[in-house]
Structures are given as structure tokens and as C-alpha cells.
Structure 1
Amino acid sequence: MEALTRNVWQGLSEQDKQEWMRRIEPQLPEGMKYEGLQTFERYGQRTQTGVFMHDEERFVFVPGDQVTLGWEKWHNGMDEETSEELHETVSEYGVQNVDSFLASQMSPVREVNIGPMLVECKTIPLGWIEVTEEEAFAQEHEDFPKALAEFKESGLNEYELHLQFKLIQDRGEVRILWFNEGIELEDIVREERADGFSLLTEDEWEYVYGGGCRTLFPWGDSFDYTMRLRHLGKPERPVQSEQASVEPETDGEDHHLYDLELPNFFGVQFAGDPYKYELTLGTDGEVMPKGGDGGALICGGAGPLLSFLPSASVFFRDACVDELDWEELMDTLYYRRVIRLADVELDRE
């Protein structure tokens, strides 16, 4: 499937891309439909790609590539503002060698082959399940009726009663998520595989987030201090930072998205929240959380650079992963479905 590798794919005509997406469609899980081509551009990268829908959830085609992942040294180097904040902040922790400190927080440098795949645009909460209003009332939670009524009149985008229920405004409707403390990741993986889906590996996650970039962040080695960041200020649209220079397609929800949450050059959205983990799964079943550190750095009073290093850096690894208690973190865990097209038999005629 050479046509589905990035170098070849980028050079195909729109008609050829359409034909490849339609060729893929019949081999996908039941109910998945091809919607058409769409172009995404961000961080200096641009991709025209296929968009698919499955049970109202969006997937995009991500072409394969051979890339170098991991981080051990600067590619271009920091600007003065980034360097000053980084050295000042890490010195408070007794760090003498900044580069060694950063390298210790990142995945190792390695060459990998990434196969073509369909990737879910948004993540799925592991510890939360969506329920109807009727199902929620059936739980007979004493705080729910009042909370729902007040939320509908509040104008808030989101409300959560810790480890109980969550209310979200979505295009004029209220979505209700109920905490499911009894769920196990192994059960999720087994159910998704039965439906034709897998979870991303760490290699795939770093590729989808950074596109094979060799810089610390997908946009470069320097932090962008113009970004609106969750927990550090409420975004006011339509003002956007330089890193969000292209207006995303309106989905009815992006009025409250922060810069790190906007679709990237593949059309994939990330949490952009250091309190949240996106789970990736190795071939041996080993779990590697990405995109967060449970809020350890931001709770420690670090500046925006270190606070959001876990979410903004392509290659960050939580050094405390072996000490994490997954049961206690269940409300912060998310995952993303993927279909690897190398496993799909395509009609080549």
C-alpha cells in the first residue's frame, strides 16, 4: 500500500485520494462511512485526508511514514524567553544540567515505521459512560436533579461532581456522563477489538501528535506564550495564538476549546490538559500514558512552560508511570480508537 504512505499520498490527485478512501470503506467495521476529503493545516504541516464517521464519531485517515521519534537534544534551540523560564524554574528543583533534565523526561530516540491508519479525532473517557437523562434519573443520585436543573440555566460549558457525574453543553443539548468505577482497561480493549478497533501505541501517538517533527514541541523548540491554556485563563474567541493560525471547522463546541485542544495537521484533537492521560498500549499489553502527568508540575507551581510540558511536548513520558494507581486516576484516563490499514485487505482492482 505504497500510496498510503505520506510522501506518495501527498502527491496524489484529489481523485486518486477519493478512490483510495472508497476502496478502504467496504473493509471497515460495520457502520463506518466515508464522508469525503478535508484539509487540515497547523504547525507548518498540511494534510488533505479522508474523513470517516462511525456512530457519530469522527475518524481521519493518517498516512504511514518512516520517522525518527524521541528526544535527546535541541533541533533549533530555545528562544531567550523560553530559555530564561526553563533555567529559572528547574534551578528551583536543584537541576544543574537543563538538557539532561529534559532528555530524562522524554522517550528515547528511535527509528520507527508507522503504518497507515484511521484515527479517532477525539478521545473517549475510560471511567465515564454516557447515559440518557432517563438513565441518569434512574440512578437515584440525590444531587443529580438539582445539579441538572441549575446547569441548564447556568450557561456553563461543563460541570462535574467528582467521581459521580459530569454535565457537558454540546450544541444546545446537555450530555450526561456517569462515572463507572468498575470498568477495566482489559475489558475495553477486548470489546474494541471485537468491534474491529485497536488502541494507539506510543510510537503511533507521537507520530500523530508531532508528525515526525524533531523539535520539542510540534511547532518548534520554543514555547508559545501567546497560547490560551486550560487552567491558566478562559479563552476568548475568535482570538487565536500563532499556533492556531488556521480556524478549525466549526463543530458547535469549539467556542470553549483552548489552543492545545484544536485539531492538528491530521485533524486529530488532543486533550491539552496536564491533568489528563491518554493511554497507549504496547504489543505486550503494557500501558504507557501520554499527554499528561496528572497535574504534578502545574500543581507544584511551575510556570506555563513546565506545567504544560507533559501536554505540549511530543515525546514526554511520565517518569512516575510505574507508581501510578490506575484506580485512583480512573476519572483522568482517556483512550483513542484506531484501525490499522495494514491489517485491512483492500480490493486493488
Structure 2
Amino acid sequence: MSNNLFEAVLNPTWKTLSNEMKEVVIQNVLRHFVNPILEVTKITPVSYHFGGIKTDTFEIVIDGIEYVFVPGQKKCILGWDRGLSGLSGLDCSEERQELRYALKRYCNQQLTSSLLTEEGFLNQDFSHIRLTTEYIDEKINRSTSPLREVNIPALLVEKKPQYVGMKYIGQYNVVSGQLMSHENQTDNLLERIHSLLVPEGQNHYFLQDYPTVARKAPLLIQQNHLNPDIFNCYVDDAISYSDVKREVERHGFGLLNEDEWEYCCGASCRRLFKWGNQLKRQFFQQNISPLWKENMFGLTIANAEFGSELIDDVSVTKGGWLEETHKAPIINLLPLSSYYRGEGIEDKEKELTPGYYCVRKVMRVDSNG
């Protein structure tokens, strides 16, 4: 295959191509790298702006799943060893109490690790610790990957991760009281969904504020961001890391490695988070917060509604659930850092906690692909 193609899918060459030439390149990528048994149904040119970075790329639907083309880049600097450097002293102190209480409210309303496991916070409470500059500096560096220079190939990346160990069974409409996917519908299931939406002893829907998310094993329901009368419904379907990996690798896909994940998250920018190093007052307001937005590549990655993401390395996970464990907001938000390292998987064959992890598919566009 021509070396010109492999050069064209890398920045800075990709940025210099005309829109027409970019489309030719994408067609060649799909022709040579996507398994012909998979159906490509849509190719859409898109532009994303996030954190001061703009990317002109393509969204591609393959077998009903949305992917984004992420241009590759050589000599990317990834990892973090700067501790507090470049961060706001106020964000790193205990003075940002409005953010701390906003996080408390978020954890009470949204999906968290403790809700999925139906027990108290998995993370230990460190709110009693005196947060010195030295403690925070060390905590940030210990929680992030080491500084390094790497080459990243061009990638076709699934836009949004999927919950691991949870089977999607359809959308529940609170107005009709029915699942839109009738094949999964039973009276018992509808009754269980109803009990999650309406607390015991409350008999009327009228003017009721429904929970954003509710969990009672084996059922999880999550309110649709676009329509509050619709809830996405899942049931437990536990699976091991090894089985997840085998399923992902069907038809030529794979898992992101740590370098690729960090690049896809923050585009190799020298800042702790994909949006920058500052924390805004309205950080937990969904309509304006970066915690729920697609990033500069159009990816939902290290976002608030998902937990630890599985990668092609069992020793670490990337991203993670938000829990209110420290008084300093910057530490509580570290799981959303582009360079954060979560705990790995101890046993590849053991079934994972349903919904605690997430996973996405990737296809590499390089000479080894």
C-alpha cells in the first residue's frame, strides 16, 4: 500500500489536505482496513471544537455503530510529571466549597461506582487529611502516567464507550409505561422499572421529578439527556475481561492501548485535563460543562457518566467514576484527567462488576493494521 496514504492520515499532513482529498483518503482507509463483511452505511464530514483545538474529520457508521476518524501524530508528549504546576492554587485548596457541594449533589443524582455495586463508596474517605501543597503535588503525580514521547497511528475510534457486563434492553417511556423494544417486555420487568421510578408509597407520576439514574440488580435505568420522559434500560449480563477482549477483536477491531487512549482524550496537549487546567464555578451544569461534551475528536471519553475504561493492558484502566473523597475538588476530578491511571484487572477470567467498566472498539490505520 502506498506510503502516501500513511502520511496523509497523520498530522500535520492531514490538516493541510483539502476537504475533497480528505474524503478520498477516508474512502481508501475504509476500503483497505475495514473487514468487507461489515456494512459501512454513513460517512459524514464533521468539525469539532474543544479546549481551543479544532479537528476536521469524519464520522463513520460501521455495522450500526458510530466511529470517528482520529488523525495520527508522531512524537506526541504524553503523561504528567508536573504536579501542581500550571494549576490554580484555589482549585487545589479546600476553599472551593461550592464545587465540593456540587460534586456531592452530582453523586446523589448521577451514576456512580457505589450505585452500581449497591454498597457504600468504594473509595476510602480521605476528607480528614490535611491537604498540603506537597500532598496534592504527590497525589497528582502518583495518579498519572509517566512523561514519555510516542508515535500514535491514525485510528477509527468508537465515539461512545459501552457499559461492560450490561445488556441494553431498550427505552422505557414514562408516558406510555411501555418498553419501546417489545421483545424484552414482560409484566414483571415493567413493574420493576416502575418501582425504580416511583418510590414506595408514591402512587402518582404527575409533576414528579424522576431520578436521573436508578439501580437495583439486575436492572439499571438511566434518563435520556435529550428527553427526560425516556429511560435507557439495561440488565446485568456479567462478562470477564478476556471475553470482552475476544468480543472486541472480532472482525479486526481491538482495544486502545494507554498511549492511544491518552492521545484520543487530550490530543497530546500539555494540560492535566482535556479542557484545560481550570475548574469553573458551573462545572456540574450539564448544558455548559465539559464533563458531558464530546472532545476535540468528537469522542465521549473521560466523561462524567462513564467509569473506568478497559484498555489493551490489564495492569491499568483509564478514566473513572467521580466520588467525593477529598476536600480539594482537583483530587476528586483526577479520574477525568487525560493521564489518569486507574486500578487494573487482577483476574482476566473473573466476571467483572456489571456496569462498573466501559469499553470501546478501535481500528488502527498503519502498516501493521
What range describes the TM-score normalised by the shorter chain of this pair? 0.7 to 0.9
What is aligned with 1:304? Answer: 329
The TM-score normalised by the length of structure 1 is: 0.77
Cα drift, residue 332 of structure 1: 1.4
CA distance in 2, matches of 1:333, 1:98: 27
**Match for residue 291 of structure 1 among 296, 311, 319:** 319
Distance 1:63 1:288, change over 3 A: same
Tell me if the contact between 2:198 and 2:210 (Cα under 8 Å) persists in the aligned partners. Answer: no
After superposition, residues 17-28 of structure 1 pair within 5 angstroms as 17-27=22-32, 28=34
**Match for residue 57 of structure 1 among 57, 65, 70:** 65
CA distance in 2, matches of 1:123, 1:299: 24
User: RMSD of aligned C-alpha atoms?
Assistant: 3.4
SS at match of 1:77: coil
CA distance in 2, matches of 1:87, 1:98: 15
* 1:191 lines up with 2:244 in the alignment: no
Cα drift, residue 198 of structure 1: 0.8
SS at match of 2:214: strand
The residue type paired with residue 335 of structure 2 is: P
The unaligned stretches of length 5 or more in structure 1 are 241-257
Cα drift, residue 323 of structure 1: 7.1
Tell me if the contact between 2:222 and 2:233 (Cα under 8 Å) persists in the aligned partners. Answer: yes
CA distance in 1, matches of 2:132, 2:48: 42
The residue type paired with residue 103 of structure 1 is: N
CA distance in 2, matches of 1:269, 1:146: 30
After superposition, residues 64-213 of structure 1 pair within 5 angstroms as 64-66=72-74, 67-73=76-82, 77-85=86-94, 92=130, 96=134, 98-132=136-170, 133=179, 134-138=182-186, 140-141=188-189, 143-144=191-192, 146-147=194-195, 156=210, 158-170=212-224, 174-181=231-238, 183-213=239-269
Bigger mean CA deviation after superposition, 133-142 or 83-92: 83-92
The TM-score normalised by the length of structure 2 is: 0.73
* 1:342 lines up with 2:350 in the alignment: no
Kindly indicate which of the two structures has a greater share of residues assigned to helix: 1
Cα drift, residue 214 of structure 1: 1.7
Tell me if the contact between 1:277 and 1:291 (Cα under 8 Å) persists in the aligned partners. Answer: yes
Cα drift, residue 19 of structure 1: 0.7
What is aligned with 2:303? Answer: 272
SS at match of 1:186: helix
CA distance in 2, matches of 1:145, 1:2: 52
Percentage of pairs with the same residue: 25
CA-to-aligned-CA distance 1:167-212 (integer Å, 9 cap, x gap): 344465543211113x122112212212321111111110001101
After superposition, residues 23-62 of structure 1 pair within 5 angstroms as 23-27=28-32, 28-29=34-35, 30-62=38-70
What is aligned with 1:16? Answer: 21
**Match for residue 317 of structure 1 among 341, 349, 369:** 341
The residue type paired with residue 17 of structure 2 is: L
The residue type paired with residue 279 of structure 2 is: D
Tell me if the contact between 1:281 and 1:287 (Cα under 8 Å) persists in the aligned partners. Answer: no
CA-to-aligned-CA distance 1:24-49 (integer Å, 9 cap, x gap): 22341411234221110111111000
SS at match of 2:248: helix
**Match for residue 283 of structure 2 among 203, 218, 228:** 228
Tell me if the contact between 2:308 and 2:357 (Cα under 8 Å) persists in the aligned partners. Answer: yes
CA distance in 2, matches of 1:272, 1:228: 12
CA distance in 1, matches of 2:211, 2:22: 38
Bigger mean CA deviation after superposition, 39-48 or 269-278: 269-278
CA-to-aligned-CA distance 1:86-123 (integer Å, 9 cap, x gap): 99989615773543332112101111111001011101
The residue type paired with residue 80 of structure 2 is: W
CA-to-aligned-CA distance 1:281-325 (integer Å, 9 cap, x gap): 13xxx3521112x54xx33243322111111x211113x547799
Tell me if the contact between 1:118 and 1:341 (Cα under 8 Å) persists in the aligned partners. Answer: yes
CA distance in 2, matches of 1:276, 1:215: 21
The residue type paired with residue 149 of structure 2 is: E
* 1:331 lines up with 2:355 in the alignment: yes
CA distance in 2, matches of 1:98, 1:87: 15
What is aligned with 1:255? Answer: none
Bigger mean CA deviation after superposition, 21-30 or 140-149: 140-149
What is aligned with 2:202? Answer: none
Tell me if the contact between 2:11 and 2:71 (Cα under 8 Å) persists in the aligned partners. Answer: yes
